[in-house]
Structure formats: C-alpha cells, structure tokens
C-alpha cells in the first residue's frame, strides 16, 4: 500500500523572483522583442530608450542584456527603436561643440578594418587643416572583428586620443578643428557592454548606433557608413526621427566612410527628409588607383605619412575622398573643383603640418 509523504513545517514556501524592479521591467521589454513572429510587437521610441538606459546603467543583468541584444538582432530593430536608443546615447554619451561652424561628423564601425588600408584619419586631418571642423568617435579593438581602430591609426602617426579628459578633447577641437572621443575614456557606460557583445558573437543593434550617433552637439553634416541597402534606409528613417537634418550615407569600404577607387561611390544626401542619390565615378575624374590592402600598422604608418605629402599608394584614394567631402561640405562648387582643391592641399602638405602640430602635444 502506497504511503503519502508527510508535509512538515506547515505550508511549502514557493520560490519567488529574485529580480530587481528594473530587471522585472527589462524582462517585459525582452518579451516585446523576443516573442515569436506573430506575437512580437517591438518597442516604441520611449521603450527603446528605456531599454538602452537600463543597459547603460548596468541595472539589467548580463543574461538579460545578452538575450535582448541577440533577439533584437534576429528580428532587426525598427527605425523608431534605433531612434529611441539614440535618445539614450545622447543623454548618457559625451558631448562636444564647435563655435559657429558646421562640423563634419564621421561615423565608422568601432570594430575596425582588416582588409583594406583606412583613409579616414588622413581625410580628417586634411579637412581640419582646410578649416572644416571634424568630429570622430571610436574605441579600442572590439568584437566581432577586432580590426584596426581609428585611435590606433592616429596613434601610429603621433596623435594620441586615449587617456585624455573630455575637456582636453574639446580644447583640441577648439584649437585644431579635430576631435575623436574614445569610448573607454569618454563613454564608459557603453564600454561595459563589450563582454556581452563578445559573448553573443554577432554585431548587436548597438553596433548600428555607432554608425548613427555623434558626440557633436549643434549644426553638422553627419556622415554614416553602411554595407547593405536595407541598413541605409533604416538609417535615413531613424536619423530623421531623431532630428538629424543633414545626413550623408556612404557605401564605403568595410562599412566605413572611405569611398572606393575601383567602383562607383554609392552615396545619398538626406536634407530635411529629402533623399538625393549621388553616384561618384572615380574613373570619370581620372582616379584609377586600386584599393590598398591592409598589411600591418607599421606599413600603414609609412603609407599614411607619404599620402599626406601627396605620394605613395594611398595618395589617389586620399585625394578622391577629400574631393568628395570638400564638395559635399560646400567648400567647393563641384566635384572636379574639389578634386583640384584636394590635390592642392596635399601638395601644400596642409594635413601634414596639422599632424606635426598635434603630434607635439
């Protein structure tokens, strides 16, 4: 005959959730992005901002953040969700200003480059030397690519951006027209997400934010790199809702803002919601150089210093990119005129002089 087990100590205590109030709230947000195809509702702008706030503040657990980021990647963030996350970045991130001048703000992948030699640091130096303020942002080598970073490239030619206060970066922008915020130093809240990004092994929506956000406050042309056409369209919509009124999207090398020299440069200018597709054909302007393969930092340093003097394998690509941005910034009336101006700046070693001034700091 079977016997029932005795119940001792009165009523059995049921386990309860050990989550904090913030974690309970974040669990609800995970459910909105992580449910099935027919039940997932996505987030509105305020909810996306709240989710990003909870991640940046560390109130969401690591497990929750990993679940949210991979679920959001799988279902693809809606433009309005990216806008909400940008709201959070604007609130928590570093801020820079330029005095009365429209800045050029470049947004490139934080996980760097590994196949082609970058031009962005050289473009930034020469543009700044011509009187156009340039603002960049980046970090240390990070997942998933662990490619060469902007800070490493600048460091190899003598300009360090890490280990400085934000006030020092602002002083450089004021004095030289060039700034780069370094995430470990100037946005530590975002830096805390790196182990989770590494663990999930895929680029999360935060990687998209890095191509849409700038620390610059005020009037600017925001220049954003992309790879896939759907990404470009989402960027237009997210940035428009965010209040960006002047945007240039670039189908650049490895998702950067570096225009290729071996094919047409596919770009789009979005001003006050109006999209204009702009194709730039290097062969039509006498640019016939091949893309330069990435070898190592030491090789790039030698190539970069030569290019700033208008020489070496990077010189033609640098002249082409300078021309595109001088034209789009309104410094020249046409692309041919801008190409002539870019060659003159390189011949005068304008960017090299600025490099020497900043390397002495």
Per run of 10 residues, the mean pLDDT along the chain (length 361 residues) is 52 74 94 77 95 98 96 93 98 96 97 98 99 98 96 98 98 98 98 95 92 98 95 97 98 98 98 97 97 98 99 99 99 98 98 96 78
Q: Are 220 and 104 in contact (CB under 8 A)?
A: yes
* Domain layout of the chain by residue ranges: 21-75, 99-359
Residue 32 pLDDT: 93
Which residues, at least 6 apart from 191, have a Cβ–Cβ distance to it below 8 Å? 139, 183, 184
Residue 142 pLDDT: 95
- Closest Cα to residue 211, out of 121, 106, 122? 106
Domain 99-359 is found in CATH 3.40.1030.10: yes
CB atoms within 10 A of CB 131: 10
Residue 27 pLDDT: 95
- Closest Cα to residue 249, out of 239, 263, 241, 262? 239
């Amino acid at each position: 005959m079977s016997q029932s087990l005795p119940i001792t100590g009165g009523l059995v205590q049921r386990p309860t959730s050990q989550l904090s109030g913030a974690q309970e709230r974040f669990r609800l947000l995970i459910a909105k992005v992580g449910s099935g195809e027919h039940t997932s509702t996505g987030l509105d702008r305020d909810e996306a901002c709240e989710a990003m706030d909870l991640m940046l503040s560390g109130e969401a657990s690591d497990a929750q953040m990993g679940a949210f980021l991979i679920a959001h990647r799988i279902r693809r963030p809606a433009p309005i969700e990216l806008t909400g996350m940008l709201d959070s970045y604007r609130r928590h991130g570093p801020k820079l200003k330029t005095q009365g001048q429209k800045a050029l703000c470049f947004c490139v992948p934080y996980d760097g480059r590994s196949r082609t030699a970058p031009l962005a640091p050289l473009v930034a130096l020469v543009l700044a030397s011509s009187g156009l303020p340039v603002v960049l942002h980046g970090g240390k080598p990070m997942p998933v690519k662990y490619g060469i970073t902007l800070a490493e490239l600048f460091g190899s030619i003598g300009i360090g951006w890490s280990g400085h206060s934000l006030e020092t970066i602002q002083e450089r922008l004021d004095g030289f027209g060039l700034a780069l915020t370094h995430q470990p130093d100037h946005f530590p809240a975002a830096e805390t997400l790196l182990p989770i990004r590494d663990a999930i092994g895929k680029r999360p929506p935060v990687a998209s934010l890095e191509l849409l956000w700038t620390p610059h406050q005020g009037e600017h042309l925001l220049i954003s790199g992309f790879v896939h056409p759907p990404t470009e369209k989402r960027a237009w919509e997210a940035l428009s809702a965010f209040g960006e009124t002047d945007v240039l999207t670039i189908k650049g090398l490895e998702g950067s803002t570096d225009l290729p020299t071996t094919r047409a440069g596919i770009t789009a200018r979005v001003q006050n919601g109006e999209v204009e597709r702009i194709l730039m054909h290097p062969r039509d302007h006498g640019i016939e150089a091949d893309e330069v393969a990435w070898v190592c930092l030491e090789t790039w340093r030698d190539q970069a210093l030569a290019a700033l003097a208008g020489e070496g394998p990077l010189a033609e690509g640098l002249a082409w990119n300078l021309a595109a941005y001088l034209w789009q910034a309104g410094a020249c009336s046409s692309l041919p005129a801008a190409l002539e101006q870019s060659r003159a700046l390189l011949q005068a070693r304008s960017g090299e002089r600025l490099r020497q001034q900043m390397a002495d700091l």
